[in-house]
Structure 1
Amino acid sequence: MIKFMPILLALVMGILSFKFSAWRTTKELAAKSTELADPKLNPLIKDMAKALDLPRIRVHIYEIEPVNGLAAPDGKIYLTRGFYDRYRQGDVSAEEMASVIAHELGHVALGHSRRRMIDFSGQNALRTALAMVLNRFLPGLGAVISGAALSLLMARLSRADEFEADAYASALLVKSGIGTGAQKSMFEKLSHLTGARGASTPAWLLSHPKTEERIGAIEKLERDWGIAHS
């Protein structure tokens, strides 16, 4: 039992760290956000709520500059002020913004936030165990190797989540009458909007799939559903 104590402690610390981080994030979001009220976006959001048989979908503007959308640990959807400003400037259409909201709804509906709590705590325990084993053969390098291996694993899990949320969003956009065209055009704009520099980085090192892979997956869904590429 004694030899397993470091792993058990890592598991407990991982869970506590995640819960503290989730609490802190939720508190900051509440303090720095207001509910979205936009004459073009709100009707599209209502269409998605109707497609999901929900009374309403609440979307909030998070007052930070980076371009992003996110699903908070408590399930609320946020668009950053920087993202919303690009929409107001005409760089992004209302339908494209709706596709971002649909994607974040996918993360909530598919339970990715809850699963990532397990991933976060579990990877700490696994990192500790792997480091202990590797240190017997490679003293001093076990922690480095185990950390790198776990980072690659978590990136792969994150990419899987993104594909799942994309597919959920595609289905929701089709059902709500918005269509997948805006979703694909949004992906084509993202690297420019966010200033991303991932073109030369191998896809398996990225936490998000490459743009062409995401669009290709959506077009495969369109073929499976028997709808024309939009």
Structure 2
Amino acid sequence: MAAYAPILLAIVYAMLMYAFSAWRTRRVLDAQSTPLRDPALRRLTDRMAHAMGVDHIPVAIYEIEPVNGLAAPDGRIFLTRGFLNRYRSGEVTAEELASVIAHELGHVALGHTRRRMIDFSGQNAVFVSLVALLLRAIPVIGPLIAVWLANLITTALAARLSRNDEYEADAWASALLLKSGIGTAPQKSLFAKLEHLTGMPMGAVPAWLLSHPRSAERIAAIEANEARWTTPNR
């Protein structure tokens, strides 16, 4: 039974981490967000809501400056204040921000948001297990080896899973944007300017470590989906 103790400890730790992470995320977002009130954006979200067959899409502004969008585990969508400021300065259009909202809705609909939180808890559990096991096998340097292994495994795996999630959410967003009559042009034009908006050139790190695919690759994937969806069956 003692041999299974590290594994059982890791499972309990992962469950506690997930519950704590969900609670902390909800508390931070509630404390630092305000409802979206922009009329033009609300009209676009209403069009997407109608296409989805729901009454409305809950969108709030997360009061931080970095340009980003995110989806909470409870299904709420957030745009950062920095993103909204870029829209108000004319650098981003309302339709482009609508494509961000559609993308985050894709993460919610496809279960990515909840799974990412579970993955984060699991990564911490892997670390705890490795430390416990290697501490027994290699008393002095075991924890150092555990840190190195955990970082290597979880970084590569998380980056790959996240890139797949982004492609899936892009495709889901494209379908919603087409169905709501907005189209994918704003989605593609936003990706074309995203590196400039965020100030983080995608070529600065190896592609296999990127949590998001390169913008050019995302645009190409959207166009490939459109071509496949619009080609008549023969």
Same fold (TM over 0.5): yes
1:189 aligned residue: 193
Percent identical among aligned pairs is 59
1:64-213, aligned counterparts within 5 Å?
64-129=64-129, 132=133, 140-213=144-217
Match of 1:43 in 2: 43
Aligned length: 227
Partner of 2:22: 22
Aligned to 1:63: 63
Shift of 1:161: 0.9
Further displaced range: 8-17 or 51-60? 8-17
| Alignment-mate amino acid for residue 206 of structure 2 | P
1:37 partner SS: coil
In terms of mean alpha carbon deviation, does 18-27 or 119-128 score higher?
Answer: 119-128
2:229 pairs with 1:225 = yes
After TM superposition, give the deviation of residue 136 of structure 1 in Å.
5.5
Distance in 2, Cα, partners of 1:135 & 1:43: 60
Q: CA RMSD in A?
A: 2.0
Alignment partners' CA distance in 1, 2:19 and 2:191? 32
TM-score normalized with structure 1 length: 0.91
Provide the TM-score with structure 2 as the length reference. 0.89
SS in 2 for 1:75: coil
Unaligned ranges ≥5, structure 1: none
Deviation at 1:127, TM superposition (A): 4.0
CA contact (8 A) 1:15 1:120 kept: no
1:55 positional shift: 0.7
Q: Tell which deviates more after alignment, 38-47 or 85-94.
A: 38-47
Alpha carbons 1:71, 1:78 under 8 Å: kept: yes
1:221 CA displacement: 0.2
Taking the aligned partners of 1:24 and 1:119, their CA distance within structure 2 comes to 16
Partners of 2:135 and 2:170 in 1: CA distance: 37
Report the residue type matching 1:171 in the other structure. Answer: A
Stretches (4+) displaced over 2 A: 120-143
Gaps of 5+ in 2: none
Q: Do the aligned partners of 1:66 and 1:194 also contact (CA within 8 Å) in 2?
A: yes
Cα distance in 2 between the residues matched to 1:135 and 1:153:
26
CA contact (8 A) 2:65 2:82 kept: yes
